[in-house]
Amino acid sequence: MRVNDILEMIINGGVPTKKELSELIETFRRGGDIAAEIYERARGVAEALRDEHYGRRVFLRGLIEFTSYCKNNCYYCGLRRDNKNAERYRLTEEQILECCDYGASLGFNTFVLQGGEDGHFTDEKLVSIVSKIKAAHPKAAVTLSVGERSYDSYKALRAAGADRFLLRHESATDEHYAKLHPESLTLENRKRCLYDLKSLGYQVGAGFMVGSPYQTSENLAADLLFLRELQPQMVGIGPFIPHRDTPFRDYTAGGLELVLFMLALTRILLPKVLLPATTALGTIANDGRERGVLAGANVVMPNLSPIDVRKKYLLYNDKLCSGDETAEHIKELAERFSKINCVLDMSRGDSKNI
Ligand code: 5AD
Ligand code: SF4
C-alpha cells in the first residue's frame, strides 16, 4: 500500500500492521513533500476528532512533584539514583495537602501527585495522603504517578480514593526497552502494572518519549499498537531531552515534528483519549504546546509544586519551571490557547475512553 492509503485506512478506523505503521512513520521521518502532506492530513483529522469528542477544551491538571528521590536508574532521567548532582527533596504530607488547597483555590479539580520511586512513601503514607486529599476535596480527581508497585499496593491506593494513574510504558519493544533501562526494569513488569491498574478501575495513562536513543520507526509503530491494545484513558507523549548527568547526555533531543505526528496518530488510533501537550514539548519549542493542541492534544499540566523545589525536579535539562506552565500563570496560558480558539477547562475532565 502507498503511505497515503495506509493513513486513510487508519483514518477510516482500520488497524494497521506494524509493518504498515512503521512504513508510514519512516516515510514521515525522511521528510520532504510527502511528509508535509501526510502530516497535514493526520493533523487535520486529529484536530477534528478531538473537537468531536471533547470540543476545543484544554483540560488543566495541577501537577505536584512531591519527591525527587528515586531508586531506579533509567538511563535517560535526571532523577536516576546514580546522579549524585541531583538535588533531592521530599514534600511532607502537610506540604502536599497545602499544594492541593492552593490548587483548589485557583480552581483546579485534578491533582497529579508525581514522584520518583521513593521507598519513603510506603503504602501507608500514600494512602494517608490520598485519603486526606479526597476528604478535603471530594469532587476533585486524584491522579498518582509513582511508578511500579505491587497489585496490592495499587489496590490499597485505589481504595483510598485514587482515581487515575500515569505510568508511561516508555517502549513497547523489549530490546528497545532494555536499551533505555537497566536489567532491574522490564517491559513485562511495566505491562503487568498497567493491566493491574486497569483491572482495579483506575483511569490509566501510558505513553512514551519520542526520539529516545536507539528508537526506530518500528519501535514507534509498536508503541502505538500497544496503546491501541491497552486502551488507556490517557497517553503521555513528549520528546526525549538529554540531561547532562545521565548516560544519554550526548544524544540529541527528539524533534518537534515527529512528536506532533505521533500525537496526531495517537488521536486517530484512540479518538477519545486524553492527550497532554507536555512540558517537554513546551521546552523544545516556545509554541510547542499550542502546536500539540493543534495536532489533537487536549490537556496541560501546570506546576503546583512549591516554588523553591520546582527547579530540583529536573528530568531533563532546561525543563520549564517558571513561565506560563506554572499554576500562577493560568491567565497567560488561557491567552496562548485563545489564540488557537481553545478554552481552558478546569473541571475534572474525565476521559471518554471508558
Ligand atoms: N526527556 C524527556 N522525558 C523524560 N522523562 C524522564 N526523563 C526524560 C527525559 N530525559 C519522562 C519519562 C517518564 C516521565 C515522568 O518523564 O517518560 O515516564
Ligand atoms: Fe526514576 Fe521515573 Fe526517572 Fe526512571 S524515569 S529514574 S523511575 S523518576
Rounded Cα distance, 162 and 178, in Å: 30
Rounded Cα distance, 233 and 274, in Å: 6
Nearest in space to 52 (alpha carbons), one of 296, 276, 347, 228: 296
Atom index in ligand 2 nearest the CA of residue 80 equals: 6
**CA of residue 30 to ligand 1 center, whole Å:** 25
Binding site membership of 243 for ligand 1 (Cβ less than 6 Å): yes
Atom index in ligand 2 nearest the CA of residue 78 equals: 3
Q: Considering only CA atoms, which residue is closest to atom 6 of ligand 2?
A: 80
79 touches 89 (CB < 8 A): no
Enumerate domains of the chain plus CATH numbers.
3-345 (3.20.20.70)
**CA of residue 77 to ligand 1 center, whole Å:** 6
Chain mean position to CA 250: 24
Going by the DSSP 8-state scheme, the letter that residue 276 receives in this structure is: B
Q: Within 249-329, where are the H helices?
A: 256-269, 279-284, 288-294, 307-310
> Which residues face 345 on adjacent strands?
59
Tell me, what's the pLDDT at 322?
67
Atom index in ligand 1 nearest the CA of residue 145 equals: 15
Tell me, what's the pLDDT at 354?
73
Phi, psi (rounded to 5 degrees) for 5: -70, -35
Cβ partners under 8 Å of residue 330, min gap 6: 60, 106, 107, 302, 344
Binding site membership of 181 for ligand 1 (Cβ less than 6 Å): no
Binding site membership of 129 for ligand 1 (Cβ less than 6 Å): no
21 touches 225 (CB < 8 A): yes
- DSSP labels, 290-311: HHHHHTT--EE--B-S-HHHHT
| Bridge pairing between strands 57-60 and 110-115 | unpaired
Q: What pLDDT, in 10s, does the model give residues 20-45? A: 999 999 999 999 999 999 999 999 99
Rounded Cα distance, 207 and 168, in Å: 4
Residue labelled with grid coordinates 511528509 = 35
**CA of residue 168 to ligand 1 center, whole Å:** 9
Residues of the chain below pLDDT 50: none
Binding site membership of 69 for ligand 2 (Cβ less than 6 Å): no
> Which residues face 330 on adjacent strands?
none
Rounded Cα distance, 271 and 268, in Å: 5
Ligand nearest to the backbone CA of 240: 1
Q: Model-level pTM?
A: 0.96
Chain mean position to CA 292: 12
Ligand nearest to the backbone CA of 66: 2
**CA of residue 147 to ligand 2 center, whole Å:** 8
Atom index in ligand 1 nearest the CA of residue 114 equals: 15
